């Protein structure tokens, strides 16, 4: 009963098989191999346009290098108050950009509202001494397991573009968003105004496979050197490409995400059936946030269930209750969920 | 006949099997798992003392984060004119240290002589305005496939320590050095004055497994955050640990290195037998540097042999000759060597 | 009628005379001159203990280099939501620290309350991934022209020290604070827990004379190199020392500040007399913040009065009113004030 | 008898008078004042084209911010082995550029030869992993007191431009060069291919007045923010403008330089007359480099003469001799020179 995080699982059998399949023989190092080239092409197919792809091993690398690519001295990174990039990466983006400052927009259930974005941008007009707004980073799926619709993304990107910002998407759980919304990847990204993104593979079934996707190839010509200078160019680069080959082939990435999302729905449904628990908000991707009595939490933990507390200002919780986060992944089984719910 | 580099091979079957073995189930992310802890212990056993270990995915990350850990503002990194850290990493160490400046010591066949180190340090006395000497980085095995003896390392480290420097070892091919010298890892490192090292696993049979080893645990308490801030902390960290488990178990790392070194000796011997080719210098690890007629080079390439030209100032080469580098790895077979030599 | 800022004035006659007096002859460059040494001693006398002093030409340099001296990777700078260091220096501290992140504590009239500091520190406990709290920066006098008492400084510094932080004071208007509170400089700084400070001379009568004062000499041994590396070590350094000689001699700095503060009281008194205007809050140093009808603001400007609007969330202002800031300096005359008030 | 450096003198009476003249009244801070605008215009007149000007207080600031403006990640700064920017600024350019690496071209008497520049650029071809060549920095007058001719500058700049580099001039002693060569500032700079320069005023008669001059206004739009973020925007900015007003008015800068250069010629002539001393090379600006018997050096010092030893590899000096540097400035008098020579 492991619901701690989707990065506690290993790699899918398909991903492991691809690693094994591509292990033999020799291939040029540092991404000069044919497999890397082929898999990069696959991204263009998925996004229905030519895209430029840079592989790394971590989401933090993708986020921070994306910020470095678009950085300007004394600039501001506009992001949600929940953003992983600001809150969970030890200042990586600040470091890689030479000291850009994250400025947070208030969010509700992980999502930024258009009016709040406008208000934040208005606080930092051109020429102000705090810094100029350089980039908006949106997280999809959000840290709260909620989803921006295509229209919501487009509205926020439009506001940002009008103010001269670049728009980045942190897609650590992009597969869960695409699966949850049932949209085409192109619609949720460049057609909605996303300029570059961190495309995650790790949480959804790879070992260590992430990619920066630039939707206008060549727009940030220093990205390749930024990546190498950061030590994020693997010598045996095909090991990332091999993961992505399996991940992106045969809709494996979407099937994995659909499984995880489906497990979340199953869990949410069972939790709310018969009033076993109330949900702090509705699950839209692969995370479920119930409010549970503390006694129940203790009993679940004693029985081996793994999950994290998730206090959130906007949700009122009784003194004998706790808001927790349950994350489902490609590796979650129905049996685990049933056992968990059975303990309630 | 692939002799381009040891990072053109894949992972050894043992390493792949370990990845497969540890793929099941759930484990805490970011290195909090039991396997990571166990494998770190293994490093202490190998070095015969408590050591602190930080896993990354690339040698550049290890080098640059090592430099960052010991950095001081306006400092100098003293290294060989051949050093990978200065010449082949796109300025990673300069970036991660906030602009430390590499100062090169002349080298002969990849090795720094004590007198040259002393002369270089004397050029930057205390209080000088170019910068203060902060760290000496030695490469073992060197970029020229040669080896410092234990005594040579100790002499250089002694000079550096006397001048107040930290001593780092770039051990991207450390296994080849230990195998080639037939010494204990402890003797070649901390007992000889090495303070911290980049311990390479990738070239010698892993996919992406490198480690910073600190010989006095806790000496650089910011290293863990430096690593996370750089995006070099993998979420599914056990995938590095799993590689190292196989790599370090059953002397697999040394056996792989002995194989590669042995292939180098075989190749060197066959090249020089009957005057097929002259070696620019003797192979001491897993690299062989013959001077070949250009016509021969062309014929070898036409037959599918892969290798890089390796011009070196200190070796005179005729106008119709070329100095080339042949790198042998765990994956090199006798058949390949025999076929290559047969083409001469 | 210039109340735009205290940095719109020139240097006092005393400061100009000192520059003239020390202009002749030759003196060692880069601060090796006797005058620099003597003036540094003067700081120790003023603070009643041995202090270490680093001269620069701007307050931003002092703030950012102070932050750089105490920086740790991935660290947080805790400061008021009003802090100049975060809001008005184009990201200097973020840049010089390699990307430390300012985290703001809510403030009321420029001042941080102890409970709010505690709450902010609690949000970033040890080991959190946003960053560790490294330094608290307090501004005295504050951006709102208010003053922390000695006890308030001591309480905040105590909380910060208990959490392992260094405590910095941005003293761009330190003279106005000392004069306003009528305390000894030692009581307001190191005796209250300040570890290092930016000591301003420019606003209060110098041309370009600022100093970082470290209360435990030698504690940050890299500060001198940080300063030189930043281009903040003047070659003809005596020109800063000469300014400070006059500034600190014969209580000139405090007399200038008392004059400016006195002008502020005079202005405040005249504004409130007969209900000419209401003050948004009481003047405690050399700044006055009245709420004026917009028509009055326009009339004042038309008559040549110079000042800035100063919207503040916590002060309610009618739709036909404006909150403005009036800054008084050593150069302000009673006549200017009387003329200004006469226009109301 | 002070020949230690031209930055041991104070400011000229004209510069002091200008500071005094502009001290009264109020002026907008941070360079928004009318004097600053007027003095910037003066630069355009001097250079016979519209130029963009950024004032700072130190040559290191100008050099490092120039490098920051043109920086690219992982880039190389190509400069003379003598360059102040590499050797005497504590790594400022490395820091401000996020870790660009200075690569030195061998020089003879401070000057780079075209062939050596070409050879250096050839060592770092496009795509190499050490770094890409981004900027050539030339020093005029050189650190050896020699001068590039207009044609020499043009040839070097042409080679650099052909390789895609920006060309910067470190003009800490630009006035001495213009005066020494008897050329127009435009000919020696943008007409010869200089893209931006550090224009020094301090050594030649100001207190602290330096400027970055960009010959194509707007080319590096971030320069203003880079400067402010570095703490190099003075609040009472008119104090720099006032210095430059006097410095650039009435050819004062060139008259000062002509005086210093003339003093150098006088000293050189007297030294060589009657074989009093041999010059290591000919004085071309305001520095003289004689080889003196050690006994003479001691006697001169005992008599109060101030100067620095200046060992240079390319000049052979006997075991009882010493090569020294004698720097002349606007403040040097004939009497000082005569007294010095009289001691020989």
pLDDT at A314: 85
What is this structure's pTM? 0.97
pLDDT class of C344 with cuts at 50, 70, 90: confident
Best of B205, B235, B332 to substitute, by most chain A Cβ atoms within 10 angstroms, is: B235
**Cβ neighbours of residue A157 closer than 8 Å, sequence gap 6 or more:** A136, A138, A167, A192, A193, A194
Alpha-carbon distance values, A312 to A110, A115, A323, A325, C115 (Å) = 10, 22, 8, 11, 21
Q: What share of chain B is helix, strand, coil (3-state, %, to 5)?
A: 45, 20, 40
Q: Nearest-CA distance from D14 to chain B in Å?
A: 32
- Judged by DSSP in three states, B175 sits in helix
**Of C267, C262, C291, C296, the residue nearest C279 (C-alpha):** C291
* Chain A hits for B239, Cβ within 8 Å: 10-11, 207-208
Best of C30, C69, C73 to substitute, by most chain B Cβ atoms within 10 angstroms, is: C73
The answer, for D326 touching chain C at a CB cutoff of 8 Å, is no
Beta bridge partners of C342: none
Q: How far apart are the C-alpha atoms of C34 and C322, rounded to whole Å? A: 51
Mean pLDDT value of segment D33-50? 97
Residue of chain B whose Cα is closest to the Cα of D89: B129
pLDDT at D105: 98
> Can you list the positions of beta strands (E) in A66-202?
75-80, 101-105, 107-108, 111-112, 132-139, 166-171, 196-200
* Chain D hits for C56, Cβ within 8 Å: 231
Q: Nearest-CA distance from A20 to chain C in Å?
A: 35
Q: How far apart are the C-alpha atoms of B254 and A52, rounded to whole Å? A: 40
Q: Per residue in C171-204, is it b (16+ CB within 10 Å) or e — as a string?
A: bbbbbbbbbbbebebbebbbbbbbbbbbbbbbbb
The answer, for B126 touching chain C at a CB cutoff of 8 Å, is no
pLDDT class of C314 with cuts at 50, 70, 90: confident
**Of B199, B188, B148, the residue nearest B42 (C-alpha):** B199
pLDDT at A313: 85
Best of D83, D92, D94 to substitute, by most chain B Cβ atoms within 10 angstroms, is: D94
- Does residue D1 register a pLDDT over 90? no
- CA gyration radius, chain D: 20
Q: How far apart are the C-alpha atoms of D104 and B103, rounded to whole Å? A: 11
Q: How far apart are the C-alpha atoms of C223 and C31, rounded to whole Å? A: 14
Alpha-carbon distance values, C254 to C184, C246, C261, D24 (Å) = 11, 12, 10, 21
The answer, for C7 touching chain A at a CB cutoff of 8 Å, is no
Q: Is this complex scored with an ipTM above 0.90?
A: yes
Q: Give the DSSP letter string of B48-100.
A: TS--EEEEES-HHHHHHHHHHHH--TTEEEEEETT-HHHHSSTTHHHHHTTS-
The answer, for A91 touching chain C at a CB cutoff of 8 Å, is yes
Mean pLDDT value of segment C13-22? 97
The answer, for C308 touching chain B at a CB cutoff of 8 Å, is no
Q: Which tens digits make up the pLDDT trace of A226-256?
A: 999 999 999 999 999 999 999 999 999 999 9
Q: How far apart are the C-alpha atoms of D189 and D49, rounded to whole Å? A: 11
The answer, for A99 touching chain B at a CB cutoff of 8 Å, is no
pLDDT at C275: 86
| C22's tokens | 């020390």
pLDDT at C313: 85
- Does residue C274 register a pLDDT over 90? no
* Chain C hits for D207, Cβ within 8 Å: 19, 236, 239
Is A95's CB within 8 Å of C86's CB?
no
Alpha-carbon distance values, C244 to A273, C16, D47 (Å) = 75, 11, 37
Q: How far apart are the C-alpha atoms of D82 and D120, rounded to whole Å? A: 15
Mean pLDDT value of segment A9-25? 96
Q: How far apart are the C-alpha atoms of D149 and B328, rounded to whole Å? A: 53
Q: Which of D73, D225, D229 sits opposite A226 (nearest CB)?
A: D73
pLDDT at D342: 93
- Does residue D81 register a pLDDT over 90? yes
pLDDT class of A180 with cuts at 50, 70, 90: very high
Half-sphere exposure of residue C227: CA atoms within 13 angstroms, side-chain side = 26
Mean pLDDT value of segment C226-239? 97
pLDDT class of D313 with cuts at 50, 70, 90: confident
Contact A225, B90 (CB under 8 A): yes
Q: Give the DSSP letter string of C222-246.
A: THHHHHHHTT-S-TTTHHHHHHHHH
Mean pLDDT value of segment D216-224? 98
pLDDT class of D314 with cuts at 50, 70, 90: confident
Q: How far apart are the C-alpha atoms of B243 and B247, rounded to whole Å? A: 6
User: What domains, with CATH codes, occur in chain C?
Assistant: 11-252 (3.40.640.10), 253-343 (3.90.1150.10)
Is B95's CB within 8 Å of D98's CB?
yes
Residues of chain B predicted below pLDDT 70: none
Q: Mean pLDDT, chain B, as a whole number? A: 96
- The residue with greater pLDDT, A307 or D274, is A307
pLDDT class of C71 with cuts at 50, 70, 90: very high
The answer, for D66 touching chain C at a CB cutoff of 8 Å, is no
Place of tokens 């800031």: C325
Q: Say how many C-beta atoms besides its own lie within 10 A of residue B176's C-beta.
A: 32
Is B230's CB within 8 Å of A231's CB?
yes
Contact A63, A84 (CB under 8 A): yes
The answer, for C183 touching chain D at a CB cutoff of 8 Å, is no
Helix residue ranges, H only, chain D: 13-21, 34-47, 59-70, 84-87, 92-96, 114-123, 150-162, 174-181, 185-188, 223-229, 238-248, 252-272, 294-302, 334-342
pLDDT at D275: 86
- Judged by DSSP in three states, C265 sits in helix
Q: How many residues does chain A have?
A: 344
- Does residue A54 register a pLDDT over 90? yes
Mean pLDDT value of segment D293-304? 96
Is A74's CB within 8 Å of D129's CB?
no
Is B100's CB within 8 Å of D94's CB?
yes
* Chain D hits for B100, Cβ within 8 Å: 91, 94, 99
Is B228's CB within 8 Å of C129's CB?
yes
Q: Which tens digits make up the pLDDT trace of B179-212?
A: 999 999 999 999 999 999 999 999 999 999 999 9
Is B73's CB within 8 Å of C226's CB?
yes
Q: Judging by DSSP bridges, how do beta strands C287-293 and C278-281 pair with one another?
A: antiparallel
Q: In which order are the strands placed within the sheet that holds B132-139?
A: B52-56, B210-214, B196-200, B166-171, B132-139, B75-80, B101-105
Q: Which tens digits make up the pLDDT trace of A308-325?
A: 999 988 899 999 999 999
C70 Ramachandran zone, left/alpha/beta (phi>0; psi -120 to 50): alpha
Residue of chain D whose Cα is closest to the Cα of A226: D73
pLDDT at C223: 98
**Between C and D, how many residue pairs show a Cβ–Cβ distance under 8 A?**
160
Q: Mean pLDDT, chain C, as a whole number? A: 96
Q: How far apart are the C-alpha atoms of D186 and B80, rounded to whole Å? A: 43
Is A74's CB within 8 Å of D229's CB?
yes
Contact A216, A195 (CB under 8 A): yes
Contact A58, B232 (CB under 8 A): yes
The answer, for C128 touching chain B at a CB cutoff of 8 Å, is no
* Chain A hits for B202, Cβ within 8 Å: 235-236
Contact B72, C226 (CB under 8 A): no
Q: How far apart are the C-alpha atoms of A93 and A62, rounded to whole Å? A: 10
Contact C21, D11 (CB under 8 A): no
Q: What share of chain C is helix, strand, coil (3-state, %, to 5)?
A: 45, 20, 40
- Does residue D91 register a pLDDT over 90? yes
The answer, for B224 touching chain A at a CB cutoff of 8 Å, is no
Place of tokens 């050797």: D87
């Amino acid at each position: 009963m492991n619901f701690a995080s989707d990065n506690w699982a290993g790699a899918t059998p398909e991903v492991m098989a691809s690693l094994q399949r591509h292990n033999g023989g020799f291939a040029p190092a540092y991404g000069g191999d044919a497999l890397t080239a082929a898999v990069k092409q696959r991204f263009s197919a998925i996004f229905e346009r030519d895209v430029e792809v840079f592989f790394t091993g971590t989401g933090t690398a993708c986020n921070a290098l994306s910020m470095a690519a678009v950085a300007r001295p004394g600039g501001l990174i506009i992001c949600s108050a929940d953003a992983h990039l600001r809150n969970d990466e030890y200042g990586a983006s600040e470091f890689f950009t030479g000291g850009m400052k994250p400025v947070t927009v208030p969010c509700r259930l992980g999502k930024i509202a258009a009016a709040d974005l406008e208000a934040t941008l208005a606080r930092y007009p051109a020429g102000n001494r705090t810094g100029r707004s350089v980039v908006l980073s949106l997280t999809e799926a959000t840290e709260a397991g909620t989803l921006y619709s295509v229209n919501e993304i487009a509205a926020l990107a439009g506001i940002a573009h009008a103010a001269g910002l670049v728009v980045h998407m942190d897609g650590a759980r992009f597969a869960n968003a695409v699966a949850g919304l049932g949209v085409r990847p192109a619609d949720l990204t460049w057609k909605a105004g996303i300029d570059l993104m961190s495309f995650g593979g790790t949480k959804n079934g790879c070992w260590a496979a992430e990619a920066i996707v630039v939707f206008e190839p060549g727009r940030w010509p220093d990205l390749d050197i930024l990546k190498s200078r950061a030590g994020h160019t693997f010598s045996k680069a095909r090991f990332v490409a091999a993961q992505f080959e399996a991940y992106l082939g045969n809709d494996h990435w979407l099937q994995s995400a659909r499984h995880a999302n489906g497990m979340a729905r199953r869990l949410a449904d069972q939790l709310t059936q018969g009033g076993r628990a109330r949900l702090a908000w509705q699950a839209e991707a692969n995370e479920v946030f119930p409010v549970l009595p503390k006694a129940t939490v203790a009993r679940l933990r004693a029985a081996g269930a793994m999950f994290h507390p998730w206090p959130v200002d906007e949700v009122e919780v009784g003194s004998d209750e706790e808001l927790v986060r349950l994350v489902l992944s490609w590796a979650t089984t129905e049996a685990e969920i049933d056992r968990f719910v059975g303990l309630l």
